[in-house]
């Protein structure tokens, strides 16, 4: 198997920057705020409150949203953690190491 480091580098640079974070089956490129966690807990206690993901960006998704892995998939935990771990910063660092750069 041949790995095209140039293509991987191009894809990583084109993706949303930063370290990606997993939260309840979603991948985000921005840290989750304490306010979002507070609002989730409040919504659990009072279902009449709006869901915290109602704060959406221009694309209609929560700010920093990258992807969602359905929680009913066979290997949900493994898949979601793998996607989050291979964020662009990590991939670019792996490419640097593979090329023997310091």
pLDDT in tens, 6-20: 999 999 999 988 889
Q: What is the pLDDT of residues 44-81, one digit of tens each?
A: 788 787 766 665 555 556 667 788 888 888 888 899 99
Write down the pTM of the prediction. Answer: 0.70
HEC states along 9-56? HHHHHHCCCCCCEEECCEEECCCCCHHHHHHHHHHHHCCCCCCHHHCE
């Amino acid at each position: 198997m041949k790995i095209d480091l140039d293509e991987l580098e191009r894809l990583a640079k084109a993706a949303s920057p930063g370290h990606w974070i997993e939260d309840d089956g979603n991948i985000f490129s921005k840290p989750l705020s304490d306010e979002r966690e507070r609002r989730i807990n409040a919504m659990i206690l009072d279902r009449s409150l709006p869901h915290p993901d109602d704060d959406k960006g221009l694309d209609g998704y929560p700010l920093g949203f990258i992807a969602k892995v359905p929680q009913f998939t066979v290997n949900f935990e493994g898949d979601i953690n793998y996607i989050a771990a291979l964020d662009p910063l990590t991939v670019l660092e792996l490419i640097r190491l593979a090329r023997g750069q310091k």
